[in-house]
Structure 1
Amino acid sequence: MTTPREATPSRRVRANGDGTVYQRKDGRWEAAGYVLAPGNTRKRVRVYGTTRKEALAKLTEKIATSNRGVPAPSAQGSVSAYLTYWLEAVAVHQLRENTHTRYTACVHQHLIPGLGKKKLAKLTAKDVRTWLNQLRTTCQCCARGIDARRDQPHCSAAGACCSKRLSPLTLAYIHSVLKSALEHAVREEEITRNVARNVRTGTPRPRRFEPLTADEARQFLAAARDDRLFALYELALRTGLRKGELLGLQWEDLDLRKGTASIRRTLQRTQTGGLTALPTKTRASERRIALPSECIHSLKEHREVQKRGATLEGWKDNGLVFTTQAGGPIDPANLNRRFRSLLERAGLRRIRFHDLRHSTATLLLEQGVELVVIKELLGHAHIGVTATVYAHVRLRLQCEAIDLLGRTLHNSAETQPDASADPPPCAPPVR
């Protein structure tokens, strides 16, 4: 009787769904399998490695990610192509026009030149970190060719680099634009994660501002008394309204009998529409505030002067509280020039118009007004914004409180009665 041949051990077969692994003619190993794709579909992906183990490990990682419900990225284009799409199809509908203009400049001046050639799906946190470090140490005159376009070069074209680098605030702004774009790519399932969020740039120091002191504020109001826009300057200093909110204020927003003002819009200059009335900066900025009695009086006088001007030929009635002499809206840039001239006439140091808003909050804090009241008056979205911007004022108030406590304790020690003396009869117990 013949003995049957021993069965040869069969080749190991991978289970269904584990994919396939084989060696290519060029010597590399290729692994292929099905993973979850956007739209709750499945697609076949291929990975490569120098060894069978390496290719299998890459495929196993992708299948494990798919089993957790994370779809495979579908982005095939570059970072430049996606940023262009995001600006033209997404950001333009979500941002205010001036903000979209700044985003566009940031993308074309920094993001596309630095990261535009990389594949969106292969962008890593290391790529973002390396690019930010390079951007931090690069002279912008040299990188963007600014010096070559000047009539009188004073940087590389003149033989000496001026080392004009970006500020930490600008770097943080560029980083935030990239995070916003990649966050939308994650929502559209183009990529699996926002790698820009894994990069920490540090918290930049806020811009330092020098608000008016109480004496300077009184000097400013005295110098502006004879100005045609005195009511605007007084309203800005006493209520902290933004420049656009003041210029967009209409008479129908004011109730001088009750002493209130409703802030509903802001006036800004845009590239397409010129001077345009837009919604307030945030939802919290749309608010109603109480008017000081001094502002009510100056607004009434301003209205009487405006009524006399409305009888002149060429007057255009737009319903605005503060207008040009012809009744048209005031350009914010023109208001800035008038404000600087007023500061020079008053003999005060040069500050921004927005620093009047900071002066209001600073003076209120120094008078002991609660932070939540100032937050409502200024129209901040969160009280944390108010607390952060005016942290230096709170620190000074803390120092004053500590000094007050120190004087109290020092005086108590001096007036403490002698321990050898008999205690007063029927002393009340201390609870």
Structure 2
Amino acid sequence: MATPRDTPASRRVRANGDGTVYQRKDGRWEAAGYVLAPGNTRRRVRVYGTTRKEALAKLTEKIATSNRGLPIPSAQGSVTAYLTYWLENVAVHHLRENTHTRYTAVARLYLIPGLGRKKLARLTAKDVRTWLNRLRTTCQCCARSLDTARDQRLCCAAGRCCSKRLSPLTLTYVHSVLKSALEHAVCEEEIPRNVARNVRTGTPRPRRFEPLTAEEAREFLAAASGHRLQPLFELALHTGLRKGELLGLRWEDLDLAGGTASIRRTLQRTNSGGLTALPTKTKSSERRIALPTPCLRSLEQHRDRQLKERKAAGTGWKDNGYVFTRPDGAPIEGATLTRHFNTLLHRARLRRIRFHDLRHSAATLLLEQGVELVVIKELLGHAHIGVTATVYAHVRLRLQRDAIDLLSSALRTPAATASQPDDGDDSPLCAAPVR
């Protein structure tokens, strides 16, 4: 009688649950077995190999993964199909409209052209890393055929590449969109793990900004004196409010008697609703701040001016309750505010900066005055104090250098101290206890 050792390898009986392995007519080996599937069910899978050992190893790996409680991927579609599903059915309900628009643009310009044809279940960290490296070194004029649409060819169509590559910040943003999409695929048990998280893009350098110095800030406020939106510019420079938060302020949010303002919304333009009042950027951005005395006086004068404009407009007044409006009461566009801001910079003969740099200027000047970082964090509405510390790290470093210089002066040698002229009016030095 033949023993199991005498039985050919291809005909040995495998234990229950180990699956089956056999050779196909085309010469390849096929292994099949039941593994864990999404929804706590089991599904039969098939793997192939050029040898029996290779097919068996693949099946054993899938069974071992299943025994650890990880379901096998059920996503048989492409990355393009899943990105389309995620943007249209998931992200649209969890993201703000402008953020969803940016995510859609990232998927259309970078994710789908680079990874769209790959199967979602077969996407690997190596695929993501290769795609990011190619995206980092590819000229976008060439990749997106931007030069062919120009009247005057400047790049590839003219025979010379302008090397317009993505910035590190943009590359990190593109990578984060992919991670968000794959993270939801993991939550829906479409794939076992988020392979994009295993790829590091490096920490990009923060965007450099040039805040106004104290002297420049005074010159800017002098140029804004008498301007119709003078209270808005004063608020921006004294409190560091964002542009949308300033434009979204309503009179009901201000307590001029108590000297406070409640930040509850932001005014932004969206593709579907036009100029719309939206919730603040984060939950921490919804806050109440103290208003300085100069701003309170300017706001009271601005309220009286707005009442006169309302009487002059009559029935044509568009009552929205906003603090800063156009002469007819309609809300102000962000682009319109930027134009007024640039005009004031030119009038004051100051360098060109962004409106958002007024926010950075307020925080920088507060830090230089010795205000605690946690107070600035609450004023700016940052979600975490680490954000404040990271953005204004260069300011803190300068303050540390000043503090070290003060300490160095205190620790100078007695000879250096004695070399200074003594007018005889100071009392002699004496030892003091150190606490």
Letter in structure 1 aligned against 2:305: V
Answering whether residue 321 of structure 2 is matched by residue 349 of structure 1, we say no
1:9-408 equivalent positions in 2, closer than 5 A: 9-10=3-4, 11=7, 12-313=12-313, 314-408=316-410
Query: Which SS does the other structure have where 2:283 is aligned?
Result: coil
- Aligned equivalents of 1:14 and 1:159: distance in 2? 64
- Structure 1 residue 430: Cα displacement: 7.7
Aligned residues: 418
Residue number in structure 1 paired with 2:428: none
Q: Distance in 2 between matches of 1:428 and 1:292?
A: 40
Within 1, Cα distance between the matches of 2:121 and 2:414? 70
Q: Distance in 1 between matches of 2:39 and 2:189?
A: 9
Mapped to 2, the partners of 1:404 and 1:428 lie a distance apart of 19
CA distance in 2, matches of 1:429, 1:183: 59
CA root-mean-square deviation: 1.7
Deviation track 1:184-211 (CA, whole Å, cap 9, x = no partner) reads 0000000001110010110010110000
More displaced 10-residue stretch of structure 1: 26-35 or 241-250: 26-35
CA distance in 2, matches of 1:248, 1:430: 52
Change (3 A) 1:412 1:318: farther
User: 1:428 and 1:334, CA in 2 relative to 1: closer, same or farther beyond 3 A?
Assistant: closer
Q: For the residues of structure 1 that align with 2:87 and 2:97, how far apart are their CA atoms? A: 12
1:70-96 Cα shifts (integer Å, max 9, x gaps): 111100000010001110001100100
Q: Distance in 1 between matches of 2:19 and 2:210?
A: 66
Residues 146-194 of structure 1, C-alpha deviations (whole Å, 9 max, x = no match): 1111122211122211111111111111000000000000000000011
Q: d(CA) in 2 for partners of 1:319 and 1:429?
A: 61
Cα distance, 1:428 vs structure 2:
8.9
2:423 alignment partner in structure 1: none
Offset at residue 429 of structure 1 (A): 8.4
1:81-127: CA deviation from partner (whole Å, max 9, x where unpaired): 00011100011001000000011000000100000000000000111
Q: Distance in 2 between matches of 1:49 and 1:400?
A: 68
Q: Give the corresponding residue for 2:2.
A: 8
User: Deviations 1:32-54 (Å, cap 9, x if unpaired)?
Assistant: 11001000100001111111111
**1: CA distance between counterparts of 2:270 and 2:158?**
36
Deviation for aligned residue 1:414: 3.8
- Measured in 1, the distance between the counterparts of 2:432 and 2:278 equals 66
Q: Measure the CA separation in 2 of the matches of 1:151 and 1:195.
A: 42
AA of the residue aligned to 2:70: V
Q: CA offsets per residue over residues 131-152 of structure 1, 9 Å max, x none?
A: 1111111111111111111122
SS in 2 for 1:55: helix
- Give the whole-Å Cα distance in 2 for the aligned partners of 1:106 and 1:112: 9
Q: 1:429 to 1:338 in 2, by over 3 A?
A: closer
Quote how far apart the aligned CAs of 1:415 are: 4.7
- What's the offset of the Cα at 1:16? 0.7
Counterpart CA distance in 1 for 2:43 and 2:308 is 75
Structure 2 vs 1, CA of residues 384 and 412 (structure 1 numbering), >3 Å: closer, same or farther?
Answer: farther
C-alpha displacement of 1:317 = 1.5
The amino acid that maps onto 1:48 is Y
Give the CA deviation at 1:316: 1.3
Report the residue type matching 2:352 in the other structure.
Answer: R
Identity %: 79
TM-score by length of 2: 0.94
Distance change in 2, residues 1:311/1:403 (3 Å): same
Q: Greater CA deviation, 43-52 or 235-244?
A: 43-52
Q: TM-score, normalised by structure 1?
A: 0.94
Which structure 2 segments of 5+ residues have no match? 419-430
Match of residue 424 from structure 1: none
Q: Tell me, in whole angstroms, the C-alpha distance in 1 between the residues paired with 2:308 and 2:207.
A: 43
1:409 to 402, 408, 411: 411
Q: Which moved more, 1:247-256 or 1:62-71?
A: 62-71
Distance in 2, matches of 1:224 and 1:295, equals: 13
Secondary structure of 2:311 counterpart: coil
